[in-house]
Amino acid sequence: MPFIPAADEVGDLESGRDAASRLYQKIATRHIRGLRTSQGTYILTPSGILLSSRHSISEDELAEFLADGIGKYQRLSTRERLGRAIRASRTSSSRYPEDGLVLSLVLRKFYSRKPVGRAGIGVVESNRDFAWYKKKEAEQFLPSTPKKGDTYNVPSYLVERLARYHFTDTVRAFADPYPARCVKKARLTATVLEVQNGVVKLRYDGTIHSEQDDTPRFGLARSRGRLPRRPQRSFQANLLGYATFDQAKKRFTEFELVALGNHRGGGERSSKDLVPMGVALTLAEDTPLERVEPFHLEWYLWN
Amino acid sequence: MAVLVFIDEKCLRRPADFLEAAMKMMSVIFVLFLAISASPVPAQEITRSLNLTESSYAAVRKSILVRPSEDQWEKIPWRPNLAVAIAEGREMDKPILLWMMNGHPCGMT
């Protein structure tokens, strides 16, 4: 591959003080007048010279965009291309729960009628996120001494984490977390299906009901999206899932959970009407890209 | 439609041809049935029922998860941040293709 492909977050780099952030701040471009974001695709040298950038690229333009970037790169001297070494200070999240439960989430809305007008601009149906639980939290997803047939209620604060920070309408744009008072119900019950040779098979059933119908909007610790948000919103869903816990390794080796219910409101581009929304949670792989922080990690209030 | 026309023409000739054509049509219907039953639950069906049970679980989950047409970008070995790419770009003398989003492109955007 003639490039080093990288993905990063606008807010982090625009506000960061490390060398990579400072480099980005020099090249960050507001591609569209009036748009308050430097979102886009950039081609740059490791020394920090911007070669080309676009807000969006169509399939037809991509080859030309890449060739143009390579051409410009090759015309530079080695010194211009590489510059001085900088310290890679943002290698991975220090809060990643190494021995905990790391879940990859996919949210999908099932529009019966696609939104029209402004609400229909760039409509997509799905988005993704990650949900993290520390080792001690993960171990609370099952009874401490599981026996076949046992039922066990997962502590509500662990389920509320999903309701407040992950089961929001982020399909089209950012959404604020739900304040704690807005979670009306967050129940997840584990049933032990089998215990054999230290391997515990579990089934999960539950319900989630979050509802906010008040003002002012819930403030974000660091507001990365500036879209206006409507506080009137709700999500009411049933949960079902299956998991396998290895008692020797003290960790989940399989974990799946599905939430399916009706969602309404939440953002400028969210429907005021009820729209079915599904969330599928799956055990994440231990790869750099599946170590991306949960979007609302700061609200976990981890030490 | 093409199948129906095919049967009509055959029927005009002899009954054995009709039987053969009918068998072929049944095969086509069976293949179509298999294709439909293996595909994700239609969105409209979920919309109507919101039915999440043991029996619907696998189909519902499949319909939520990322679809092959949506995950092509995942095949590119994206480095998770710019700092890593700068270090690697220097070492390999290669330009950086940087994808920037509000929210990490590989997480919530």
- Give the best residue of B55, B56, B62, B100 to mutate against chain A (max A CB count within 10 A): B100
pLDDT recorded at residue A125: 78
Q: Please check whether residue A212 is in contact with residue A233, taking contact to mean a CB–CB distance below 8 angstroms.
A: yes
Determine phi and psi for B87, rounding to 5 degrees: -60, -45
> Order of strands across the sheet with B96-101?
A4-9, B96-101, A40-44, A50-54
Nearest to B107 among A23, A225, A295 (CB): A295
DSSP-assigned letter for residue A264? E
Q: What ranges do the domains of chain A cover?
A: 10-82, 101-300
Residue found under tokens 């230290």: A198
- Measured between alpha carbons, how far apart are the two ends of chain B, in Å? 45
pLDDT recorded at residue A103: 97
The one-letter code for the residue type at A102 is V
d(CA B64, CA A106): 7
Given an 8 Å threshold on Cβ–Cβ distance, is A90 in contact with B81?
yes
pLDDT in tens, A52-96: 998 888 888 888 999 999 999 999 999 999 987 766 555 556 789
Given an 8 Å threshold on Cβ–Cβ distance, is B66 in contact with A128?
yes
Ranges of chain A with pLDDT below 70: 86-93, 115, 118-124, 172-173, 214-231, 267-269
- Chain A contact set for B94 (CB, 8 A): 2-4, 46
Q: Which helix (H) or strand (E) holds A157?
A: helix A156-161
Banded model confidence at residue B89, pLDDT cuts 50, 70, 90: very high
Given an 8 Å threshold on Cβ–Cβ distance, is A10 in contact with B100?
yes
Nearest to B78 among A5, A28, A129 (CB): A5
Given an 8 Å threshold on Cβ–Cβ distance, is B93 in contact with A78?
yes
pLDDT recorded at residue B8: 38
Residue B53's closest chain A neighbor by CA?
Answer: A240
pLDDT recorded at residue A37: 80
Nearest to A45 among B66, B88, B95 (CB): B95
Nearest to B47 among A129, A276, A291 (CB): A276
d(CA A182, CA A271): 19
d(CA B6, CA B18): 10
Determine phi and psi for B48, rounding to 5 degrees: -70, -45
Which structure tokens are listed for A135?
A: 């080792």
Q: How far is A220 from chain B (nearest CA, A)?
A: 14
- Give the best residue of B48, B82, B88, B93 to mutate against chain A (max A CB count within 10 A): B82
Chain A CB within 8 Å of residue B38 CB: no
Question: B80-97 in b/e burial notation, b at 16+ Cβ within 10 A?
Answer: bbbbbbbbbbbeeebbbb
Q: Please check whether residue A132 is in contact with residue A97, taking contact to mean a CB–CB distance below 8 angstroms.
A: yes
DSSP H helix total and E strand total for chain B:
5, 1
Q: How far is A250 from chain B (nearest CA, A)?
A: 26
- Residues 6 or more apart whose Cβ sits within 8 Å of residue A45: A51, A73, A76, A80, A81, A82, A83, B89, B95, B96
Chain B CB within 8 Å of residue A16 CB: no
Given an 8 Å threshold on Cβ–Cβ distance, is A46 in contact with B89?
yes
- Residues 6 or more apart whose Cβ sits within 8 Å of residue B96: A3, A4, A5, A6, A42, A43, A44, A45, A46, B82, B85, B86, B89
Strands (E), A45-87: 50-54
DSSP H helix total and E strand total for chain A:
6, 11
- Chain B contact set for A44 (CB, 8 A): 95-96, 98
Q: Please check whether residue A283 is in contact with residue A254, taking contact to mean a CB–CB distance below 8 angstroms.
A: yes
Question: A199-220 in b/e burial notation, b at 16+ Cβ within 10 A?
Answer: ebbbbbbbbbbbbbeeeeebee
pLDDT recorded at residue B16: 54
Q: How far is B63 from chain A (nearest CA, A)?
A: 9
Chain B CB within 8 Å of residue A301 CB: no
Nearest to B93 among A41, A82, A289 (CB): A82
Overall residue count recorded for chain B in this entry: 109
d(CA A210, CA A285): 29
Which structure tokens are listed for B99?
A: 């994808």
pLDDT recorded at residue A265: 82
pLDDT recorded at residue A222: 46
Q: How far is B30 from chain A (nearest CA, A)?
A: 28
Given an 8 Å threshold on Cβ–Cβ distance, is B87 in contact with A88?
yes
pLDDT in tens, B29-71: 444 444 444 455 665 576 567 889 999 999 899 989 877 767 7
Chain B CB within 8 Å of residue A62 CB: no
Q: Please check whether residue A131 is in contact with residue A166, taking contact to mean a CB–CB distance below 8 angstroms.
A: yes
Chain B CB within 8 Å of residue A298 CB: no
pLDDT recorded at residue B21: 53
Chain A CB within 8 Å of residue B40 CB: no
- Chain B contact set for A66 (CB, 8 A): 97
Instruction: Work out the angle at residue B98's Cα, subtended by the Cα atoms of residues A132 and B109, and round it to the nearest 5 degrees.
Output: 40
Which structure tokens are listed for B10?
A: 């055959």
DSSP-assigned letter for residue A268? T
Q: How far is A296 from chain B (nearest CA, A)?
A: 10
Which structure tokens are listed for B51?
A: 């039915």
pLDDT recorded at residue A238: 97
